[in-house]
Amino acid sequence: LPLVVGMAVGATQVAGRLPDAHPQLLMSGGFALAMIAMLLMTRLRVDSGYVELMLPAMVLLGVGLGMVFVPATNLSTNGVARADAGVASAVFVTVQQIGAAIGTVALNGAATRASAQYLREHVGSTAADPAAVIYGFTTSLWWTLAVLALGVVVTMTLVRDPGTPAPRSRRVDEVSSQA
């Protein structure tokens, strides 16, 4: 529930109130907030309290993701003919869902491998050892943080203001002027 509340706040109160803000800044800021949330969650220990650690991290993660999803959704249909907007939106949602599924499988694999490594290094521990599970979780959180950092780089590199025309290659310009 805190994640969903955070996403609603990020989408409506932050991204929704900044319609003139550059999508690159909103998305990069959202990724940065999500990265901070991941950093908080890597502090997870067997005796960590939910209210002290996970609750604020989940709300912060939600706000950050809300700031990413709104401009990303808008950009996915920007410039698409009205008749094709439904198809463009459906493609966006489909790609988003497939990416989430692949990410879940990859991060689950990282957590499982890390937990197995912990058990090999701590002879006498069992698969039910909470420390092994936490070690796996925190390993996957570090990988998530890396993916979010990549999101910042990709956003800063590829996302442009929807009102700005895409840069044309020199060759296209040269060919056009010769015609």
Question: 72-91: per-residue pLDDT in tens?
Answer: 888 888 888 989 989 999 99
Alpha-carbon span 72 to 65, nearest angstrom: 10
pLDDT grade for 131, boundaries at 50, 70 and 90: very high
Q: Which of 113, 114, 151 is nearest to 30 (CA)?
A: 151
* Range of weakest confidence among 89-98, 99-108, 160-169: 160-169
Q: Is 57 within 8 Å of 40 (Cβ atoms)?
A: yes
